[in-house]
């Protein structure tokens, strides 16, 4: 079997807004998702089967997203116009000529494949602990009891607070051992490249919103972000499950690089549309935190990932997040044009806690979090 069942006690902090199974003595079945055995199963466990109204559509139209060329300063105004147009509608665009080394991207993909090809026991050395955002997760079996995603992930923190910080490199060596030092070096370099790219994009977002181009760059200069490696194994019944369920990213900005396998879908105009892989481009989308920074002017859009029978799919996502003590609130230039305030002041750790311990991310995450902040009178 590909799914090993064990019984564990669930703490109150683990309970989500979506009810877990009602088991005697407040216990839930903890499933271990073993990708190396999944192809042996003709039927998938019920926990991975999604409701009919959420089951995937494989053959869907492609989403028309703008290509933002970052190579020329001459195109800055046009780029900001295209970004504003996309972000007021769905929040997705592609960046090309981004300056990130092709060899670094290729190396990062190669080490992603090497990690997920490891035996399950090796990957579990980095097992993600309850309430934490870093570590290895086989599906989200420790957090949810139904509508489980058909994937495994490795997430780790990146800090840009101090020059020369080796947060990522230290994580791999400390968690998985010195033999993973090269993994750490590659992903340290990759995260630094993503941080630099995200700050460049933040300048364009500022221009798109009529804000000084340095404002958001400065806000995220010392970012404390999350890097995630995703692996979506083949599935014998891809029409019944999802690689990642419909959600909006709670972070500020996501920079995604896909391999050659199609799977990313975005919900626009009441229809799912795909964004096809492009090895020369990064997919960029607005997250809930930046939606709050823009007072709702730019949209954090619902998206998901689908799986298939034939090919594994891998992707790498960099989630830009502000430094922990930064207060998330729109700049005055935006509030002068758009009032009233749509969301309360908050910090990223408050929002992260909400999504890790109290709520399963969906299209209403930001509104639900705002109500939670106001209802609980949570001070910053």
pLDDT band for position 12 (cuts 50, 70, 90): very low
Other CB atoms within 10 A of residue 263 CB: 28
Give me the helix-helix angle, 213-220 and 181-208, nearest 10°: 150
Token readout for 18 is 């979506």
Identify the pLDDT of residue 5.
32
pLDDT score of 16 more than 90: no
Residue 302 vs residues 147, 191, 267, 295: alpha-carbon distances, Å? 17, 25, 6, 18
Annotated catalytic residue 313: yes
**Per-residue pLDDT tens digits for 26-74:** 333 456 788 877 767 778 889 999 999 999 987 899 999 999 999 877 6
- Per-residue pLDDT reduced to its tens digit, 70-102: 987 767 889 999 999 999 999 999 999 999 999
CA 86 to CA 287: how far, in whole Å?
14
Residue 338's pLDDT is what?
82
CA distances to 32, 238, 318 from 315, rounded to whole Å, are 22, 18, 10
Give the strand pairing for 92-96 and 67-69. parallel
pLDDT band at 365 (very low <50, low <70, confident <90, very high): very high
Radius of gyration of the chain, Cα coordinates, nearest whole angstrom? 20
Q: What mean pLDDT, rounded, does the chain reach?
A: 88
Q: What is the pLDDT of residues 252-271, one digit of tens each?
A: 999 999 999 999 999 999 99
pLDDT in the model for residue 144 = 72
Instruction: Look up the pTM and report it.
Output: 0.90
Residue 23 reports pLDDT greater than 70: no
pLDDT in tens, 296-330: 999 999 999 999 999 999 999 999 999 999 999 99
Percent of the chain at pLDDT > 70 equals 89
The span from the CA of 89 to the CA of 72, in Å, is 25
pLDDT confidence of 164, banded at 50, 70, 90?
Answer: low
The C-alpha atoms of residue 306 and residue 274 are separated, in whole angstroms, by 10
The lowest-confidence range among 46-50, 274-278, 289-293 is: 46-50
Residue that the structure tokens 């080394």 belong to: 101
Question: What pLDDT score does 39 carry?
Answer: 67
Q: Which of 213, 313, 342, 360 is catalytic?
A: 313
Q: Does residue 131 carry a pLDDT above 80? A: no
pLDDT category, 379, cuts 50, 70, 90? low
Average pLDDT estimate for 265-285: 96
> Which pLDDT score is estimated for 150?
95
Distance in Å from the first CA to the final CA of the chain: 47
The confidence score (pLDDT) of residue 377 equals 73
* Confidence (pLDDT) at 142: 64
pLDDT band, very low/low/confident/very high, at 129 (cuts 50, 70, 90)? confident
């Amino acid at each position: 079997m590909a799914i090993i069942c064990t019984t564990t006690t669930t703490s109150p902090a683990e309970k989500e807004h979506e009810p877990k199974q009602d088991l005697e003595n407040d216990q839930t079945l903890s499933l271990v998702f073993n990708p190396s055995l999944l192809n042996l199963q003709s039927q998938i466990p019920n926990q991975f089967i999604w409701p009919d109204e959420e089951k995937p559509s494989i053959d869907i139209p492609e989403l028309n997203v703008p290509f933002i060329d970052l190579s020329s300063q001459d195109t800055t105004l046009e780029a900001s116009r295209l970004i504003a147009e996309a972000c007021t509608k769905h929040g997705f665009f592609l960046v090309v000529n981004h300056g990130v080394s092709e060899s670094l991207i290729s190396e990062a993909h190669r080490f992603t494949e090497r990690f997920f090809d490891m035996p399950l026991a090796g990957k579990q050395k980095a097992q993600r602990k309850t309430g934490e955002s870093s570590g290895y997760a086989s599906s989200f079996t420790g957090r949810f009891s139904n509508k489980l995603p058909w994937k495994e992930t490795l997430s780790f923190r990146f800090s840009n607070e101090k020059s020369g910080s080796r947060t990522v490199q230290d994580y791999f060596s400390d968690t998985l051992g010195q033999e993973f030092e090269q993994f750490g070096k590659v992903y340290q370099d990759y995260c630094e490249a993503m941080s630099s790219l995200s700050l460049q994009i933040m300048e364009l977002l500022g221009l798109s919103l009529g804000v000084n181009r340095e404002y958001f760059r400065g806000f995220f200069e010392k970012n404390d972000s999350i890097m995630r490696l995703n692996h979506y194994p083949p599935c014998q019944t891809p029409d019944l499950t999802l690689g990642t369920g419909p959600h909006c990213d709670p972070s500020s900005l996501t920079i995604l690089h896909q391999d050659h396998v199609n799977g990313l879908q975005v919900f626009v105009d009441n229809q799912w549309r795909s964004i096809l892989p492009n090895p020369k481009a990064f997919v960029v989308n607005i997250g809930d935190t930046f939606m709050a920074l823009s007072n709702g002017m730019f949209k954090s859009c619902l998206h998901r990932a689908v799986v298939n029978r034939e090919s594994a799919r891998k992707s790498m996502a960099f989630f830009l997040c502000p430094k922990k003590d930064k207060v998330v609130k729109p700049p005055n230039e935006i509030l002068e044009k758009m009032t009233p305030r749509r969301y309360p002041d908050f910090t990223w750790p408050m929002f992260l806690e909400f999504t890790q311990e109290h709520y399963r991310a969906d299209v209403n995450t930001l509104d639900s979090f705002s109500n939670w902040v106001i209802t609980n009178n949570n001070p910053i």
